[in-house]
Amino acid sequence: MTNVIVVIILLILIGGAVAYLIKAKKSGVKCVGCPAGGSCLGSKKTARKKLNAPVIGKKTIEISGMHCAHCVTSVAESLNQIEGVRARVDLSKSSAVVSYDREIQDDILKNAVEKAGFSVVSIHV
């Protein structure tokens, strides 16, 4: 009898999860389980940003909370909105390499990552 109850509970849980996934995909969610609630920017290919002056330095930002290509796009676009910054974000390394053509304070970089919904672990040269 106990086994039957466990099986019924598991079927209800699995059925609920499948129903949630189907409903999410039908409503246009790009990334089920994404921290942005599936409303992130998508996995579209972003154009490589060009800087107006020669690169004077690079910083590596370690980021926590990225889980998918949509997360990477969100972080990259947020960092690339900063004037004088070009960012390459790597999901497998949970980091972004930021090239800059003028001095950029770490707080500005941190705020851009947090604006995208993620946390900065560290920033180093």
CB 97 within 8 A of CB 125: no
Q: Is the pTM of this model over 0.85?
A: no
CATH number for the domain formed by residue range(s) 57-124:
3.30.70.100
Task: Give residue-wise pLDDT tens across range 57-90.
Answer: 999 999 999 888 888 988 999 999 999 999 999 9
58 backbone φψ class: left, alpha, beta (φ>0; ψ -120 to 50): beta
Extents of the domains making up the chain = 1-30, 57-124
User: Residue 98's closest CA among 117, 75, 67, 118?
Assistant: 75
Task: Give residue-wise pLDDT tens across range 43-64.
Answer: 455 567 888 889 999 999 999 9
Could you tell me how far CA 9 lies from the centroid of its own chain? 34
